[in-house]
């Protein structure tokens, strides 16, 4: 079996994401929903707990005297619905928004367009998943979660045992209010512990996904070739492009006015004609390329002038197709004047 020791590449992670393989912890959704529900019930959604409390008290007090007929039950039900529904809708909206927000943050707005996997309905595969190492880990996580939540709940109730016992000594209104406060307090503490468990579960899910997506060295190399191209092919393409560029450059040498050399290490082909703003470099090269430029120049009777400082300066500062810099005008003018004198042509000032 190949050793998958390499971390997944960005391409592998993106492909896995498109298939729906992402880091996602269901525990985070449960923890967020629990905390949001407790906070809403203790704050903005307190109207719901108050409405339920009032209705509960009213029902207990009025039920012995009520006329238990169908119209009375209908009227009472509608009344309960009208009083509870706004607060319940507010609470439900808060839970929905929290759940959607946590899911979107975890999935980074992923919409995995995959069909349903009918293999999940196979009972044999289901048993294999249950008794696999992953299933055992999930069972241990569930037991740990149950133990921690149970311990927190027990500690909370133990710390408030006197208040719970004292509920029987309070009037109905105060007892219901106190019970609601204790319930919300317990939910907040359990929710805080659940958040810690959810963050740990998210870290585990991420580690597990990265482990499952690990690659061999060969897979990394193959993916690099597919995404970046074969290095040998790219090298051949670059070599061919350089060859074509040299060929185009050499074809421009016969148009040069003068070749300035170093004398054998560097060669620069300069063109200057009437109407040009400044002399222009048609070709340049070092060593073998320089020798080839000089050879073509001699084939076409183009003057070859040895001037080491000027050749070096133009070679370093001017690219092919560019005009020479103003700092070199004077030095090159002397070379061009000499060339024009040799050809007995009038010199036009640069």
In a domain, 226, yes or no: no
Tell whether 57 and 200 lie within a shared domain: yes
Tell whether 295 and 208 lie within a shared domain: no
In a domain, 330, yes or no: yes
Gyration radius of the chain over CA positions: 42
Question: Residue 112's pLDDT band (boundaries 50, 70, 90)?
Answer: low
* H-run or E-run covering 152: helix 133-159
Tell whether 166 and 255 lie within a shared domain: no
pLDDT (average), residues 230-239: 72
CB 43 within 8 A of CB 253: no
Q: Which one of 168, 195, 212 terminates a domain?
A: 212
Q: How far apart are CA 350 and CA 339, in angstroms?
A: 14
Q: Is 122 left (phi over 0), alpha (psi -120 to 50) or beta?
A: beta
Name the strands in the sheet holding 304-306, side by side, starting at the edge strand that comes first in the sequence.
Answer: 280-286, 266-271, 258-261, 304-306
Tell whether 63 and 208 lie within a shared domain: yes
> What per-residue confidence (pLDDT) applies to 253?
92
Tell whether 199 and 255 lie within a shared domain: no
If 0-12 CB within 10 Å is exposed, 13-18 middle and 19+ buried, where does residue 62 land?
exposed
Q: Is the pLDDT of residue 1 over 60?
A: no
Tell whether 148 and 256 lie within a shared domain: no
* H-run or E-run covering 198: helix 172-212
Question: Residue 185's pLDDT band (boundaries 50, 70, 90)?
Answer: confident
Q: How big is the chain, counted in residues?
A: 350
Which DSSP string do the residues of 278-303 spell out, in sequence order?
Answer: S-EEEEEEETHHHHHHHHHHHHTT--
Structure tokens, 342: 């040799």
In a domain, 239, yes or no: no
Q: Which one of 185, 212, 239 terminates a domain?
A: 212
Count of other CB atoms within 10 angstroms of residue 93: 12
Tell whether 194 and 304 lie within a shared domain: no
> What per-residue confidence (pLDDT) applies to 348?
46
307 to 297, 300, 332: CA distances (angstroms): 16, 20, 10
Tell whether 339 and 252 lie within a shared domain: yes
Closest to 335 (Cα-Cα) out of 241, 235, 257, 234: 257
> What per-residue confidence (pLDDT) applies to 347?
43
Q: Is the pLDDT of residue 295 over 90?
A: yes
> CATH code at 258?
3.40.1690.10
pLDDT (average), residues 89-107: 80
Structure tokens, 204: 């585990």
Q: Is the pLDDT of residue 73 over 50?
A: yes
CB 304 within 8 A of CB 259: yes
Q: How far apart are CA 281 and CA 316, in angstroms?
A: 12
> What per-residue confidence (pLDDT) applies to 349?
39
In a domain, 83, yes or no: yes
In a domain, 348, yes or no: no
Mean pLDDT comparison of 211-215, 219-223, 238-242, 322-326, highest-scoring range: 322-326
If 0-12 CB within 10 Å is exposed, 13-18 middle and 19+ buried, where does residue 280 land?
buried
Q: Is the pLDDT of residue 106 over 80?
A: no
Q: How far apart are CA 181 and CA 72, in angstroms?
A: 32
Q: Is the pLDDT of residue 41 over 80?
A: no
Tell whether 99 and 204 lie within a shared domain: yes
Q: Which of 105-114, 163-172, 186-195 is predicted with the least confidence, judged by mean pLDDT? A: 105-114
Structure tokens, 20: 């729906």
As a whole number, the mean pLDDT across the chain is 78
In a domain, 307, yes or no: yes
In a domain, 327, yes or no: yes
In a domain, 217, yes or no: no
Tell whether 35 and 173 lie within a shared domain: yes
CB 274 within 8 A of CB 282: no
Structure tokens, 167: 């509920």
Q: What's the total number of domains in the chain? A: 2
Question: Residue 2's pLDDT band (boundaries 50, 70, 90)?
Answer: low
CB 39 within 8 A of CB 195: no
Q: Which one of 161, 190, 212 terminates a domain?
A: 212
> What per-residue confidence (pLDDT) applies to 294?
93
Tell whether 331 and 183 lie within a shared domain: no
Closest to 224 (Cα-Cα) out of 20, 5, 6, 1: 6
pLDDT (average), residues 223-228: 69
Tell whether 174 and 74 lie within a shared domain: yes
Place of tokens 């060295």: 217
Phi/psi of residue 182, nearest 5 degrees? -65, -40
pLDDT in tens, 258-283: 999 987 789 999 999 888 889 999 99
258-261 and 304-306 beta bridge pairing:
parallel
Domain assignment of residue 164, given as a range: 22-212
């Amino acid at each position: 079996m190949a050793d998958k020791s390499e971390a997944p590449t960005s391409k592998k992670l993106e492909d896995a994401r498109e298939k729906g393989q992402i880091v996602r912890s269901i525990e985070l959704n449960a923890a967020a929903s629990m905390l949001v529900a407790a906070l809403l019930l203790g704050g903005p959604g307190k109207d719901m707990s108050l409405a339920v409390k009032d209705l509960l008290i009213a029902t207990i007090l009025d039920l012995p005297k009520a006329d238990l007929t169908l119209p009375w039950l209908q009227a009472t039900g509608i009344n309960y619905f009208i009083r509870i529904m706004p607060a319940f809708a507010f609470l439900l909206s808060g839970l929905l928004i929290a759940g959607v927000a946590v899911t979107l943050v975890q999935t980074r707005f992923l919409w995995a367009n995959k069909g349903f996997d009918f293999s999940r309905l196979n009972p044999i595969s289901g048993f294999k998943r249950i008794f696999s190492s992953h299933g055992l880990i999930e069972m241990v996580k569930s037991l740990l979660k149950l133990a921690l939540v149970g311990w927190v709940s027990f500690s909370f109730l133990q710390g408030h045992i006197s208040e719970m016992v004292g509920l029987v000594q309070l009037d109905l209104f105060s007892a219901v209010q106190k019970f609601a406060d204790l319930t919300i307090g317990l939910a907040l503490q359990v929710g805080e512990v659940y958040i810690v468990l959810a963050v740990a579960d998210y870290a585990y899910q991420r580690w597990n996904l990265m482990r499952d997506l690990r690659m061999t060295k060969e897979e990394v190399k193959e993916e690099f070739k597919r995404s970046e191209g074969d290095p040998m092919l790219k090298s051949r393409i670059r070599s061919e492009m350089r060859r074509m560029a040299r060929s185009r450059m050499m074809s421009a040498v016969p148009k040069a006015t003068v070749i300035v050399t170093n004398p054998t290490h560097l060669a620069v082909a300069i063109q200057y004609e009437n109407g040009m703003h400044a002399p222009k470099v048609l070709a340049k090269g070092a060593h073998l390329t320089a020798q080839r430029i000089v050879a073509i120049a001699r084939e076409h009777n183009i003057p070859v002038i040895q001037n080491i400082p000027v050749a070096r300066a133009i070679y370093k500062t001017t690219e092919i197709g560019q005009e020479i810099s103003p700092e070199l005008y004077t030095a090159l003018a002397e070379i061009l004047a000499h060339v024009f004198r040799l050809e007995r042509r009038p010199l036009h000032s640069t």
